[in-house]
């Protein structure tokens, strides 16, 4: 979030430089590649949206061409790596005070190079007022869009694409935000938009919504009556007065009438019986603060009761509130929440949105981009370029900027393929990927934030080492360090900034920041080397396994899978060993493992299941490159194939740490097939299928998987899911309930986490679960 200084509307980029702390190109990022614009202008805030094409580096792998050679060289790596430029799509949303609109339009005009359109979609009450200014400055024709249509489109978009978009507000909780996990099926819901008045809209599908009611008593009423009562003209100042007031000095309570609770009707004594009731009989002046508080309660309670009645009438339990009356203000969120809870007796939840202020701009953009069908794609929030939700309590964070003097940023990256639920989730609506909510767990939050801070030097060094031929690698790595460090400090003070804080979100934020400074795959050379070493050992490992009796072999396969999982460069306990002991290998890793009984040990049940009929199809989510995938996973896959089970092997679409990517797995499988007839025939006959997950994270969200993978899971009647690794099976999915058998296994490579789970370093989790009949 960029802080604004003194207001003013100069006419060049220079004046913008003087009026805000952040450089303008860090606010209007990638503007030179902007293709299409939309704008939403309210009474005091402007929200600008634009779509740009982003050029960034990606690491590509491909097999060496051995045609014309007798054989590959002994020390040749298993494949070559090249860094290429790739173009992706990004949506940018910027929110700023109308004071800055002319200055910002000037800056945009001076930096527009590649725009594809002659039109700018506009919505909001200010679209008409500023129409001439926009057309004059940008030389784009203003095309006005319907406010409510834009609002609904924007709301659908954020609910579908940002899993932690919606939150409940809890006044006395720390922190005050409680995020809800959104799922792909977001309909139906009620949207209560509180602007000057109140509009209540029932949203049933992407394109079907209905205005079902409203009220003339809304934000404008609070503002207008407040101005008459207090002579205060500014909305934010009225709310500030209300936050300091005591409404009981002005309102008549049930206790004032009955001397306490009214037991017959079950009404407590502190309920408001009559708003402003004491002012009729009291012979005294009331403070501005108390009158503002009473007015706020009166209007919020009215809106809350109205919303509650409509929700019950239409049998809806999801009610989202938006509009300038809300705008992240704790006083309004608190009173609305209380009102809804009271009138619904807790059956209806008042939900607010992290990006509520952007809904109109997002909707206007989507209206203008309909020919590109943006809804056919999935989008993901780019944490590196988004400012996040700021605290509503300035005293919680001394560095907190004043809300009225900020530029707010949101960036969304278009994902290559649509993401959907894993069809095997028992109940997608209740699935929560993450095991620990660091927003709630202060001790865990403090540990993991410190852990990521301490790991930063190692990540910076690894990033620089991955690009030895780049003259500016050190400079870019230092920028990465600064950006990620700043994100960590924000999350220390405001753990809710990007939704629920988890180990997964910390890892993903780091990956976003690395990509931001063109470090697409810092571990590419490490993975290349380790894949080469492991491939040379594959046949020896298979011969050793094949020499064992059946029962002994099953245990050796599981032990190999666990030993392979030790090789995780993301775990400091392991990376320290790998850095200092280059000879540390597969056999050494086996010796590190906890002896049975393991910390979580369902091996006996798994062995019994293996004595039964084979599974029809197993879905395996792989973890690390090198020894893990080649000497751990592939021998396990080979045994399943031998039993007559088809296998879907799912690997990350993009790089994260030393996790194996889909493109790397194709080459590894090709090399293994050349050494192993069983793997070769399984690939040829489509009994072994390699697919991508749609993810570029060391963790795993089973509600956001590649659509192609989901289709395959259905087609093959998958009846076994195997999830391996600390990120995928412990930090996420440890409690995930599936409709089929599942195996979650990992080695704990973090002392603090091991201690928390009641184990020690290198303790083993082997969790075999069968769904209840």
Q: Domain check: are 309 and 371 in the same one?
A: no
Which H or E run contains 312? helix 288-313
Q: Are 765 and 754 in contact (CB under 8 A)?
A: no
Q: Domain check: are 640 and 701 in the same one?
A: yes
612-635 burial, b if ≥16 CB within 10 A, otherwise e? Answer: eebbebbbbbbbbbbbbbbbbbbb
Helices (H), 59-211: 101-111, 126-129, 131-138, 147-161
CATH of the domain at 52: 3.30.420
The total number of structural domains that make up the chain: 3
Q: Domain check: are 147 and 211 in the same one?
A: no
Q: Domain check: are 364 and 327 in the same one?
A: no
Q: Could you write out the three-class secondary structure of 647-689?
A: EEEEEECCCCCCECEHHHHHHHHHHHHCCCHHHHHHHHCCCEE
Q: Are 41 and 122 in contact (CB under 8 A)?
A: yes
Q: Which residues contact 689 (CB under 8 A, 6 or more apart)?
A: 646, 647, 648, 649, 712, 716
Place of tokens 């994902």: 415
128: in domain: yes
762: in domain: yes
- Tell me the C-alpha distance between 69 and 494, whole Å: 59
Q: Domain check: are 338 and 372 in the same one?
A: no
The pLDDT value given to residue 77: 85
640: in domain: yes
- Tell me the C-alpha distance between 378 and 373, whole Å: 11
- From the list 454, 525, 414, 390, the residue with the least C-alpha distance to 77 is 525
Indicate the average pLDDT of the chain: 88
Q: Domain check: are 142 and 240 in the same one?
A: no
Q: Domain check: are 650 and 603 in the same one?
A: yes
689: which strand partners? 648
Instruction: Provide the 8-state DSSP code for 509.
Output: H
Q: Are 476 and 519 in contact (CB under 8 A)?
A: yes
Q: Domain check: are 536 and 600 in the same one?
A: yes
CATH of the domain at 185: 3.30.420.40
Q: Could you write out the three-class secondary structure of 708-768?
A: HHHHHHHHCCCCEEEEECHHHHHHECCCCCECCEEEEEEECCCHHHHHHCCCCCCCEEEEE
Helices 550-565 and 603-610, packing angle to 10 deg: 130
pTM, two decimal places: 0.90
In angstroms, the Cα distances linking 79 to 86, 478, 649, 696 are: 20, 30, 20, 21
Q: Domain check: are 37 and 56 in the same one?
A: yes
Q: Domain check: are 652 and 707 in the same one?
A: yes
- Tell me the C-alpha distance between 772 and 611, whole Å: 20
Host domain of residue 366: 24-62+76-151+360-393+400-414
- Tell me the C-alpha distance between 629 and 547, whole Å: 21
Q: What is the full DSSP assignment across 436-490?
A: --TTT-HHHHHHHHHHHHHTHHHHHHHHHHT-TT-TTHHHHHHHHHHHHHHHHHH
93: in domain: yes
- Tell me the C-alpha distance between 540 and 129, whole Å: 76
Q: Are 719 and 640 in contact (CB under 8 A)?
A: no
Handedness of CA 84, 85, 88, 94 (dihedral sign): positive
- From the list 222, 177, 165, the residue with the least C-alpha distance to 195 is 222
Q: What is the pLDDT of residues 709-735, one digit of tens each?
A: 999 999 999 999 999 999 999 999 999
The pLDDT value given to residue 368: 83
Tokens for 105? 């339009």
533: in domain: yes
The pLDDT value given to residue 568: 85
Domain boundary among 414, 445, 460: 414
Q: Are 668 and 527 in contact (CB under 8 A)?
A: no
Which H or E run contains 366? helix 359-368
Q: Domain check: are 625 and 643 in the same one?
A: yes
Q: Which residues of the chain have pLDDT under 50?
A: 1-21, 66-72, 391-405
Place of tokens 């899978």: 561
Q: Domain check: are 229 and 329 in the same one?
A: yes
510: in domain: no
728: in domain: yes
CATH of the domain at 749: 3.40.50.10880
The pLDDT value given to residue 67: 44
The pLDDT value given to residue 73: 55
600-601 and 764-769 beta bridge pairing: parallel
299: in domain: yes
- Tell me the C-alpha distance between 28 and 34, whole Å: 10
688-692 and 141-144 beta bridge pairing: unpaired
Helices 330-344 and 288-313, packing angle to 10 deg: 50
- From the list 757, 760, 740, the residue with the least C-alpha distance to 749 is 760
Mapped onto helix, strand or coil, the DSSP state of residue 520 is coil
């Amino acid at each position: 979030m960029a802080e604004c200084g003194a207001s003013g509307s100069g006419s060049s980029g220079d004046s913008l430089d003087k009026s805000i702390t952040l450089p303008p190109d860090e606010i209007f990022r990638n503007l030179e590649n902007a293709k299409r614009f939309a704008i939403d202008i309210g009474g005091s805030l402007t929200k600008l949206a634009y779509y740009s094409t982003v050029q960034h580096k990606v690491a590509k792998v491909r097999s060496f061409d051995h045609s014309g050679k007798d054989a590959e060289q002994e020390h040749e790596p298993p494949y070559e790596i090249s860094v290429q430029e790739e173009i992706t799509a990004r949506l940018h949303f910027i929110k700023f005070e109308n004071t800055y609109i002319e200055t910002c339009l000037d800056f945009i005009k001076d930096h527009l190079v590649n725009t594809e359109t002659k039109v700018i979609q506009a919505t909001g009450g200010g679209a008409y007022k500023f129409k001439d200014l926009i057309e004059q400055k940008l030389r784009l024709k203003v095309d006005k869009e319907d406010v409510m249509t834009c609002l609904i489109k924007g709301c659908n978009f954020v609910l579908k694409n940002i899993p932690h978009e919606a939150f409940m507000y809890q006044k006395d909780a720390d922190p005050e935000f409680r995020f809800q996990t959104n799922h792909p099926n977001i309909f139906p819901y009620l949207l209560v938009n509180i602007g000057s008045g109140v509009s209540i809209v029932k949203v049933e599908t992407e394109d079907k919504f209905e205005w079902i009611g409203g009220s003339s008593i809304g934000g404008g009423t609070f503002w207008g009556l407040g101005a008459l009562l207090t002579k205060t003209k500014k909305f934010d100042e009225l709310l500030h007065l209300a936050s300091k007031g005591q409404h009981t000095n002005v309102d008549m309570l049930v206790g004032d009438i009955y001397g306490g609770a009214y037991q017959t009707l079950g009404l407590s004594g502190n309920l408001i019986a009559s708003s402003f009731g004491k002012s009729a009989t009291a012979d005294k002046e009331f403070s501005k603060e108390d009158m503002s508080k009473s007015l706020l309660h009166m209007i919020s309670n009215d809106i809350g009761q109205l919303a509650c009645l409509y929700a019950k009438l239409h049998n809806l339990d999801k009610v989202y509130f938006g509009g300038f009356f809300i705008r992240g203000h704790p006083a309004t969120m608190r009173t609305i929440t209380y009102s809804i809870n009271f009138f619904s007796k807790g059956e209806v939840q008042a939900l607010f949105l992290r990006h509520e202020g952007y809904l109109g701009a997002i909707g206007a953009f989507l209206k203008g981009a309909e020919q590109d069908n943006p809804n056919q794609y999935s989008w993901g929030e780019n944490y590196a370029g988004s400012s996040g939700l700021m605290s509503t309590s300035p005293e919680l964070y001394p560095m907190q900027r004043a809300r009225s003097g900020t530029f707010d940023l949101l960036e969304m990256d278009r994902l290559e393929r649509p993401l959907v639920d894993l069809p095997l989730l028992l109940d997608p609506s209740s699935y929560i990927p993450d095991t620990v909510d660091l927003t709630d767990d202060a001790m865990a939050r403090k540990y993991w934030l410190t852990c990521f801070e301490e790991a930063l030097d190692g990540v910076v060094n690894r990033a620089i080492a991955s690009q030895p031929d780049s003259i500016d690698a050190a400079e870019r790595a230092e920028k990465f360090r600064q950006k990620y460090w700043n994100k960590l400090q924000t999350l220390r003070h405001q753990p809710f900034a990007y939704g629920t804080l988890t180990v997964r979100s910390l890892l993903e934020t780091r990956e976003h920041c690395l990509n931001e400074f063109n470090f697409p795959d810092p571990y590419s050379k490490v993975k290349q080397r380790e894949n080469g070493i492991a491939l040379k050992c594959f046949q020896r490992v298979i011969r050793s396994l094949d020499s064992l009796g059946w029962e002994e072999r099953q245990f050796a396969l599981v032990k190999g899978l666990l030993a392979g999982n030790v090789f995780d460069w993301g775990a400091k306990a392991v990376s320290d060993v790998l850095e200092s002991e280059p000879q540390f290998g597969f056999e050494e890793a086996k010796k590190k493992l906890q002896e049975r009984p393991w910390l979580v040990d369902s091996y006996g049940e798994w062995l019994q299941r293996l004595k039964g009929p084979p599974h029809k199809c197993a879905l395996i989510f792989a973890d690390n490159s090198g020894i893990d995938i080649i000497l751990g996973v592939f021998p396990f896959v080979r045994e399943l194939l031998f039993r007559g089970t088809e296998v879907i092997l799912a690997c990350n679409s993009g790089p994260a740490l030393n996790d194996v990517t889909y493109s790397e797995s194709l080459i590894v499988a090709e090399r293994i097939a050349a050494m192993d007839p069983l793997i070769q025939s399984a690939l040829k006959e489509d009994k072994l299928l390699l697919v991508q997950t749609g993810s570029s994270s060391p963790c795993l969200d089973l509600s956001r998987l590649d659509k192609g993978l989901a289709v395959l899971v259905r087609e093959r009647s998958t009846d076994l899911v195997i999830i391996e690794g600390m990120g995928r099976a412990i930090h996420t999915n440890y409690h995930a309930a599936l409709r089929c058998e599942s195996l979650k296994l990992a080695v704990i490579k973090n002392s603090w986490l091991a201690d928390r789970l009641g184990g020690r370093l290198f303790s083993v989790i082997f969790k075999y679960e069968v769904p209840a009949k």
